[in-house]
Amino acid sequence: MTDRTAAAELRRQIAETRNQLGHTVEELAAKTDLRGRARARAADLRDRAGAMTVQLRSTAAQAGHTVQQKAGRAGHTVQSKAGRAGHTVQDKAGRAGHVAQNKAKEAALTAQDKAAHARHGVQDTTSRASRDLPGTLRTPVRYAQQHPRPVLIAAAASVALLAAGVMGRRRAGRRR
C-alpha cells in the first residue's frame, strides 16, 4: 500500500470513529436529560387522564340518562295510578316524578364533577408518583396507567350505586 492510500484509509477510519462517537454522546445526553424525560412522561400522563375523563363523563352521562328514563317511567306509572285515585294524589305524584328527575340530573352532574376531580387527582397523583416515589412503589401507578379499564369499571359501578341509592330513597319516601 502506498502512503496516500494508507493516509486516506486512516482519514476515513477517523471520520467514521468521530461519527460513531457523536452518536454515542447524543444517546448519553438523551439518557441524562431527566427533565426532558419527565416532561414527556407528564405529557403522556395528562393525555391519558384526559382520555379517562372523557370516558368517565360518557359513562356518567349514560348512567344519568338511564336513571332519568327509569325515573320518567316510574313517574308516569305513579301519575296513572294517581289519576284513578283523584286530582290531589295526581298532583303529588307529578311533583314526585319531577323531583326524582331533578335528583337524577343532580346525581349525573355530581358524577361528572367527581369524574373531573378524579381526573385531576389522577394527574396530581401520577405526577407526584413519577417524581417522588422510589422505583418499587411506581409499579401500581404504572399498572393503573397501562390498564385503565378497572378504573373505568369502578367509576361506572359507583355511578350505578349512586343512582340506585337515589331511586331507593325515592321509593322509601313514597311508601310512608
pLDDT tens column, 101-120: 777 778 777 877 877 777 67
* pTM of this structure: 0.28
pLDDT tens column, 5-63: 888 999 999 999 999 998 998 888 877 777 877 888 888 989 998 988 988 888 888 88
Determine the Cα–Cα distance for residues 152 and 45; give it in Å rounded to an integer: 16
Total count of residues recorded for the chain:
176
pLDDT of the residue at 67: 83
